[in-house]
Amino acid sequence: MKLTVDTNKCSGHARCYAVAPEVFDIDDLGYALPLDVEVEEPIDERIAAGIAACPEHAIHLH
Ligand code: F3S
């Protein structure tokens, strides 16, 4: 599965980074940097928590 961040939807809440800094990265203003990585199932709970933490629904697993 692919984990991506839609940087057009990101509003800089930085909650994804707060939950899983080893997966998500942010710039100096707190906006998520582009992400496009393959992840294995079962999905790591920190990745799932990062997705759930984004109030803009900018993080997708597909
Ligand atoms: Fe952006 Fe959502 Fe993370 S708004 S910084 S992708 S929590």
Q: pLDDT > 90: what percent of the chain?
A: 98
- Establish whether residue 35 lines the binding site of ligand 1, counting it when its CB lies within 6 angstroms of any ligand atom: no
Taking the C-alpha atoms of residue 62 and residue 59, their distance in angstroms, rounded to an integer, is: 10
pLDDT tens by residue, 30-60: 999 999 999 999 999 999 999 999 999 999 9
CA dist list (Å): 31 to 10, 18, 23:
6, 12, 14
Tell me the pTM.
Answer: 0.93
Domain boundaries, the chain: 3-61
- Establish whether residue 13 lines the binding site of ligand 1, counting it when its CB lies within 6 angstroms of any ligand atom: yes
Residue 43, pLDDT score = 95
Q: 3-61 sits in which CATH class?
A: alpha beta
Protein residue with least CA distance to atom 2, ligand 1: 54
Residue 10, pLDDT score = 98
